[in-house]
Amino acid sequence: MEIWHKSSEEPEPEQWVQDVLDSGMTMAKHDVIVKHANGNIEIFDNIKALKELNLLSAPQVRVMMMKKVRDAELLKVKNGFETIDAWQINPEEEPIGWLKTVFDKEQLYWDELPETHTLILKSPGFYLGAIIGPIGYYLVNSGNHFRMLSERDFHKQYQVVEEA
């Protein structure tokens, strides 16, 4: 199988790609041309290509397919005298700031069951090394450790000071 995706650093496309481009097939900006071993040619959008061609793991595909409608609403919360960071788990929000860092380090990831949208935090010292939080729970970051709390428990223990 051969895959072609237009990029700015791409030199002249190979002849089979040029033939497809010249054939009048319509392509959107991020589409991918796939030439299968049997010679069949298909055009996929980039998410479908990543998913169907197994270029990403199941959790990565699921996260890519989640519709991100806004940046994550990070909060500053207070527990007694200490002010720390928190985020209410929402798969429609794009991670930013400290939250993006935790995702990038792969300490935090979405589970593989698409219907649950459960967040998993790798945390040594806990049973099976993970803390689990469904949508609506809060991820609290005190700088040296994380906690997952239900909305009820979160509001019992913390007071929202501001959006970060």
What are the per-10-residue average pLDDT scores of the chain (164 residues)?
63 79 76 83 75 63 62 91 92 89 84 70 61 87 86 94 72
Q: How far is CA 106 from CA 6, 18, 25, 61, 160, in A?
A: 29, 39, 39, 15, 27
Q: Provide the pLDDT for residue 144.
A: 72
Does the global pTM surpass 0.85? no
Q: Provide the pLDDT for residue 71.
A: 87
Q: Provide the pLDDT for residue 8.
A: 47
Q: Say which DSSP state 151 is in.
A: H
Q: Provide the pLDDT for residue 86.
A: 95
- In sequence order, which residues have a C-beta less than 8 Å from that of residue 86 and are 6 or more positions away? 74, 75, 76, 77, 138, 139, 140, 141, 154, 158, 160
Q: How far is CA 102 from CA 18, 51, 91, 112, 117, in A?
A: 42, 24, 15, 18, 17
18 touches 70 (CB < 8 A): no
Q: In angstroms, rounded to a whole number, what is the distance separating the alpha carbons of residues 82 and 22? A: 63
